[in-house]
Amino acid sequence: MGGFECSTHVRRDGRRLDLIASTRHDRFARQDYERLAEMGILGARDGVRWHLVDRGTRRYDWSPVLPLIAGARRSGVEVSWDLLHFGWPDGVDPFSEEFVERFAAYAHAFAVLWGRESDSRLIVTPVNEISFLSFAGGEKGFFNPFATRRGDELKEQLVRAAIAACREIRAVARSARFVHSDPIINIIADPTRPEDRLQAELYRLSQYAAWDMIAGRTRPELGGRPEYLDVVGVDYYVHNQWIHNGKMLPPSHPQHLPLRYMLRELHRRYRRPVIIAETGIEAEARPDWLRYIGREALAARAMGVELEAVCLYPILDHPGWEDDRHCPNGLWGYADDSGRRPVYEPLAAELTRQRQAFAEGEAPAELGAAMGEALPPEEEAALDRAAFTIDEETEKSRKAGRKERK
């Protein structure tokens, strides 16, 4: 799969981001989907952009999403549509009851639109990364809605909205599928601080809270049901493992946990189909990262994980959220005025190799190589360098954002 970055959140300085527009995917959707199909990528993630289509009082302008739907349909690419990717319409309080009701009505209306525009099954990610958004925007306050110590409250609101959307969509399209994506993480205690082990483990287990509520396992009064937790989407990047109250765990760290085991734990917990809904890295490490993810995916499947897809995310380079820096993390770069995008050839070559390995039904030689846990030294070193570089670039971006806000 290929994922189009579609974040639409508002920064603290009041600027609203729109990554579909920033990458010119809105203008060149047809060409972008044709590129996917030509590369053999026939699944995608894309966004509807709630703040643009919702005009209030249940009036909707679908012109921003219709070209995306048409481009995907003509190219034969099946899309999972994000209805809320970090942003909502101006003036809507995410802690209010109106937020849930308005989101549910919007989800219903999109399902009706889909029935008019397409004869294929509807696949929806109602609310992207509930756990991250509630932590960043409700607990720590560095992301919209910039609240602090209200993380659990925001998480419950986002879960209510996701459940309400599932209910409304199923009322229109009974065959609709739902993908609920959230980061998959590993947190360990500092070996010199054994007293932190319980807190670190509780924090690690909190990654399951939103999924548990959607499935009705906890907080049943929110309306969750087992059938709503349809496909579990996991978002995994090089910085998804860290020491509690400490630093990132790079791939070379002896306590870095192979992704296969994280996927196995998740699958055993829910027994639902799984997709890696987001994964990627920047710069020259892109092919090494995809090779690593491919090895882990094959190994996870050999261990019984019902892993259905891997989504390269983002599929297009994009400007950074805080400082507009060029993030070279896509298969394709920025578009020129004719819609042409340069391809990152090393990643394209590795993608072809990975697709062949999976299409051959997990050939024994490939699977045997995948089952080894240790990364080849040169790959491990490349991923370590990329991990530390991304960590530095992220901190620079955050500092730039804080300086701009001041």
d(CA 55, CA 339): 29
pLDDT value for 204: 98
Report residue 219 CA to chain centroid gap: 24
Q: How many CB atoms lie within 10 A of CB 395?
A: 10
Nearest CA among 110, 104, 38 for reference residue 80: 110
Return all residues near 333 (Cβ < 8 A) that are at least 6 apart: 316, 317, 341, 342, 343, 344
pLDDT value for 392: 78
Question: What is residue 401's DSSP assignment?
Answer: H
Asked if residues 208 and 187 have their Cβ atoms less than 8 Å apart, the reply is no
What pTM, to 2 d.p., does this model score? 0.94
d(CA 343, CA 330): 9
| Domain CATH code at residue 85 | 3.20.20.80
Report residue 38 CA to chain centroid gap: 23
d(CA 395, CA 129): 21
Asked if residues 173 and 114 have their Cβ atoms less than 8 Å apart, the reply is yes
- Roughly how many angstroms between the first and final C-alpha of the chain, as a whole number? 40
DSSP assignments along 199-253, one per residue: HHHHHHHGGGHHHHHHTTSS-GGG---GGG--EEEEE--TTSEEETTS-B--TTS
DSSP assignments along 253-300, one per residue: STTPPPHHHHHHHHHHHH-S-EEEEEE---GGGHHHHHHHHHHHHHHH
User: Which residue segment(s) compose the domain that 304 sits in?
Assistant: 2-405
pLDDT value for 87: 97
**What tokens does 163 get?**
């459940």
**What tokens does 226 get?**
């087992």
pLDDT value for 131: 98
d(CA 266, CA 305): 9
Percent of the chain exceeding pLDDT 90 equals 85
pLDDT value for 363: 45
pLDDT value for 375: 73
The number of distinct structural domains making up the chain is 1
- Dump pLDDT digits (tens) for 201-226: 999 999 999 999 999 999 999 999 99
**Residues in the chain, total:** 406
- Which residue ranges of the chain lie beneath pLDDT 70? 361-374, 397-406
pLDDT value for 275: 98
- The pairing of beta strand 231-235 with beta strand 177-183: parallel
pLDDT value for 364: 47
pLDDT value for 317: 98
Asked if residues 149 and 134 have their Cβ atoms less than 8 Å apart, the reply is no
